[in-house]
Amino acid sequence: MKHFPVENPFLTPSADLEQPDTTAGLLPLSGLRLAVKDLFHMAGLPTSAGNPTWLATHPIPTQTASSVTALIEAGAEFCGKTITDELAYSLNGQNIHYGTLINPLTPNRLPGGSSSGSAIAVAKELADIGLGTDTGGSIRVPASYNGLFGLRPTHGIIAADNMVALAPSFDTVGLLTRDLATLTKAAKVLLSASASALPAHSINKVLIADNLINQVAHMAELKTQLANWRDKDLLPNEATLHIDTQAWQTSATFRTLQGAEIWQEHGEWVTLVTEHDKKAVFAPDIQTRFAWCDTLSGQEIQAAQQQRADFTDWLESELKEGVLIIPTTPGLSPLLEAAEADLAVYRNQLMDITAIAGLAGLPQLHLPVCTLNGAPCGLSLVGPKGSDLALIDFATHLME
């Protein structure tokens, strides 16, 4: 895929939207700027979903996503909608229509997607809160590649209304910030409506996915960070948890179920604009994945559904009131000149890890605690369903 780098992550600039009065400084997000991924509908602003044909074939929204409304009403200042990978069906941060954003920390590497625009806006200090989505890793991956904190919440805990869906049983509304204090404020705003109905979780044990940490390129850096936390006695009742992603077929299971849902959501439109109208142009890798979605059989989907159920039952029984520590990615962000075949292999390795929380619908928080050769990387905390705020509290305890 050819790259034409762009520096500006904003696709749609801030409009004259009604903003709450924050002059008194009484609202929790007063003084914080908000960048919104261009999957969220905002009344009066177009939603392109990263593709010009989508933009041309869908009306300008008349309603705003409740997550956007909640953040703005809490005092956040909307500063623009941001570039996304096409229909959010990528983890690279590449867009053949609107450009590949420049990673401000490692300009020779991919920025990570599909919430690339929101991540870059925050990393470049053009915004303080990046609102994005995470289906297969689209908050956690760009957070790792850009040295940010990134929260994929418990599936369904934050409403995903008035936005372009990808795979609804995996889609989540997530947050990107440069610091935990800002993440805490924004998360409490979005979780306030539902968190009170969920049981409170305390972190009574820590499980380390040693085998996954041993497999990643930045193993030594992660082990050093864990050793630092051990020295400070910050990992209560520590134990190991072996997660055999090959035996559980986490990547293949996730991709099959995601693909089936994507085709159910968008198959009719993709077929119309590619076979009939001949209008749409997709990136080659995304076009290939769309074509693959159309080939999935009922038998394959049924087997993946059973595998997902079995894996979820096992993981939930292991976690209970604990927190799992895993690597966020298998390595550093790929280089811009990486071959398509190499990126495809890396994508499967990456989704072996990101699918852990995705398949089980669990919250995951990326912590930017490491660098390797000047490039950011880190660890993630995965908790039981509904433990989102407890994860953030525990992370704050670790990072202090």
Tell me the catalytic residues: 37, 114, 138
Q: Which residues contact 295 (CB under 8 A, 6 or more apart)?
A: none
* Cα–Cα dist 388/323, whole Å: 11
Q: How buried is residue 400: exposed, middle or buried, by Cβ count under 10 Å (0-12/13-18/19+)?
A: exposed
Strand 5-6, strand 172-177: pairing: unpaired
Cα dihedral sign for 11, 129, 382, 320? negative
Residue 143's φ and ψ, nearest 5 degrees, are -60, -45
In this structure, how many other beta carbons lie within 10 angstroms of the beta carbon of residue 395?
24
Strand 238-240, strand 10-13: pairing: unpaired
The amino acid occupying position 102 is: I
Which residue, among 115, 336, 320, has the nearest Cα to 203 in the 3D structure?
320
CA 167 to chain centre: 13
* Cα–Cα dist 248/133, whole Å: 25
Residue 64 near residue 74 (C-beta atoms within 8 A): no
* Cα–Cα dist 216/43, whole Å: 43
Which residue, among 172, 125, 168, has the nearest Cα to 148 in the 3D structure?
125
Which residue, among 147, 149, 135, 94, has the nearest Cα to 117 in the 3D structure?
94
Q: Which residues contact 176 (CB under 8 A, 6 or more apart)?
A: 115, 118, 119, 122, 129, 130, 131, 132, 139, 142, 143, 148, 149, 150
Which residue, among 107, 258, 262, 84, has the nearest Cα to 176 in the 3D structure?
84
SS3 state at 368: strand
Q: Kindly report the CA angle at 5 between 144 and 95, in degrees rounded to 5?
A: 70
